[in-house]
Copies of this chain bind each other. A is one copy, B any other.
Amino acid sequence: MSEAIHATVWNEHTDEQRSGPVAGIYPHGLHTTIAEGLRDLLGGHTTVTTATLDQPGQGLPQPLLENTDVLLWWGHKAHHRVTDETVARVQARVLAGMGLVVLHSGHLSKIFTRLMGTSCNLRWRKADERELVWTVNPTHPIARGVPHPIQIPQQEMYGEFFDIPQPDELVFVSSFTGGEVFRSGCCFTRGNGRIFYFSPGDELYPVYHHPQIRRVLANAVRWAHNPVPSPSVPAGSPQVRGDWFTA
């Protein structure tokens, strides 16, 4: 259970360059802050790389994906700039066993809507509201070591209905000052891959500096890591012989 994990934090990296306030909170980019949190909590057995949209292969060339066990995804304003080729490449790796952790506004990223098959729409409001993140799945590894609730003093509101498939496992439900609720921590499995969507986090609030949010992300990387893809998942739709298994 102590396999080394290669995590890659991908960031479209546009807000930080456009906005003074964002640069103030995340001077080296959200990806750098998220990566630091993972390194602090996951320690030596894990390597954490970062990648951004403007790099070759949109930051996600095939060799990097092949060497990535878990990919974390931050996107916000530039979803449309991610090409269908990049989306197809990432989707194929997820179905083959790479874990994927989709963060906050990534709910509208092409890769998430492609994997979900739904619009992934939601209701939102930017009004400095308090978010409380409640655990509704106490034995889940992603909830391990977090308080009940996690308190985030100021946050963007995300509200139901969140147009996703019913999660395989619902881990967290949040409430906001205005009264909305949101399924803020959702697990999905797809082929040989594991996907975790986590809504807390924003470019205008220091949420990724929050120690308990960092704990959730570290737990998520461990949970999403599939060290041994199962032989049960077929490559294509093969025609098989009768009783082939006894041959």
Where the two chains meet, the residues of A that have a C-beta atom closer than 8 Å to any C-beta of B are 1-2, 91, 95, 97, 108, 114-119, 121-127, 129-130, 132, 134-140, 143-145, 147-149, 151, 159-163, 165-166, 168-170, 173-175, 177-181, 183, 188-194, 222, 226-243, 245-246
13 pairs from A and B in contact (CB 8 Å cutoff): A119-B191, A121-B236, A123-B237, A124-B239, A134-B232, A138-B230, A138-B232, A140-B189, A143-B232, A151-B246, A161-B232, A166-B169, A168-B169
B231 touches A147 (CB 8 A): yes
Known: A181-B173, A181-B174. A245 touches B151 (CB 8 A): yes
Residue of B at shortest CB range from A115?
A: B117
* Residues of chain B contacted by A115 (CB below 8 angstroms): 117
Known: A181-B174, A230-B143. A190 touches B242 (CB 8 A): no
Pick from B118, B175, B229: contact of A179, CB below 8 A.
Answer: B175
Kindly list 7 other residue pairs between chains A and B, CB separation below 8 angstroms, not including A117-B117, A165-B165, A179-B245: A123-B234, A124-B238, A125-B240, A134-B161, A138-B230, A161-B232, A173-B173
B178 touches A138 (CB 8 A): no
Of A163, A179, A190, A241, the most chain B CB neighbours within 10 A belong to: A179
Pick from B114, B121, B240: contact of A159, CB below 8 A.
Answer: B240
* Residues of chain B contacted by A246 (CB below 8 angstroms): 151
A178 touches B148 (CB 8 A): no
Residue of B at shortest CB range from A173?
A: B181
Pick from B116, B135, B151, B178: contact of A161, CB below 8 A.
Answer: B135
Pick from B125, B138, B235: contact of A192, CB below 8 A.
Answer: B138
A123 touches B240 (CB 8 A): yes
* Residues of chain B contacted by A194 (CB below 8 angstroms): 139
In the bound complex, CA of A135 to CA of B233 (Å): 9
Residue of B at shortest CB range from A166?
A: B168
B134 touches A118 (CB 8 A): no
B122 touches A234 (CB 8 A): yes
